[in-house]
Amino acid sequence: MAFGQPSIEYKTTEQIRRMRKAGLVVSRALDAAQEAAVVGATTADIDAAFEAVLDAEGAKSNFKGYHGFPATVCVSVNEEVVHGIPGGKVLQDGDILSIDGGCSIDGWHGDSARGVIVGTPDPEDQRLSDVTEEAMWRGIAALANGSRVGDIGNAIDDYVSSVPGKPLGILEDYVGHGIGTAMHQAPDVLNYRTKHRGPKIRPGLCLAIEPMLVRGGIETKTLDDDWTVITTDGSRSCQWEHTVAVHERGIWVLTAEDGGVAKLAPLGVTPVALD
């Protein structure tokens, strides 16, 4: 602890390689979950698809049982922001989902989320998902180019604020986080601009960057299940997330199959593989 703040767990290159194994399993599990998100399927079907990949890979869900959470992934539908519990809810054409999941392998964690639209998208929902995803990549680029963790939130906020059309809200109650030997670690990674600069970015820092955007107001409330968070005005929400490592030669997106190469190239960032 320093000045009352939790200390940051900095990883060696070998430890980051171990996190990469977990990250790749999360990516493949999200692929399966996304494929299961079709009209007529239930949110439990999505959970089962994700869990099947983890079981096949010998990985452990880091969501199931976390503070009592009953499922392998969070599936948040439409006005549900985060922590939606999979169950019997049947997916309808045009639903927008945030599928958030993770796993650990040999004690090292990965965490990622995707926005998914079922069937025919509403153009404004597609815009919401596209902007949220791009905001995440802008935050990751800021991790590569910045000096402080606060630069990530600045980049996300600046991008979202610059997008033409109806303004989108950035949720402030839920933020990104450090990750490593636990799923949630210091530091917090804000998705909006503040005066707080945050800790210095240096090799060994591993972060889960996860902006959550809404089409309406940013006020939220938690349902009686004590997990599912919804927008109070009923507006639709979207989340995207990747786990990213800073190492001696650059950054590498641990939960992206290509390490983030394709999405970061247009932003002038070249991720560097660990090997």
Q: Which amino acid is at 58?
A: G
Size (the chain), residues: 275
Residue 109 annotated as binding? no
Other C-beta atoms lying within 10 Å of the C-beta of residue 2: 8
* Residue 140: partners with Cβ closer than 8 Å, 6 or more residues away: 152, 209, 242, 244, 251, 253, 260, 264, 269
Residue 241 annotated as binding? yes
Number of H helices, E strands in the chain: 5, 15
For 274, half-sphere exposure in the C-beta direction (CA atoms, 13 angstrom radius) is: 23
30 vs 46: CA distance, rounded Å = 9
Instruction: Classify 55 as helix, strand or coil.
Output: helix
122 vs 94: CA distance, rounded Å = 6
Q: Which amino acid is at 179?
A: I
Is 203 buried (19+), middle (13-18) or exposed (0-12) by CB count in 10 A?
A: middle
Q: In angstroms, what CA-CA distances link 169 with 98, 159, 166, 237, 241?
A: 16, 12, 10, 9, 17
Rounded to the nearest 10 degrees, the angle between the axes of helix 150-162 and helix 123-145 is: 150
Cite the annotated binding site for substrate by residue number: 83, 184
Cite the annotated binding site for a divalent metal cation by residue number: 100, 111, 177, 210, 241
Cite the annotated binding site by residue number: 83, 100, 111, 177, 184, 210, 241
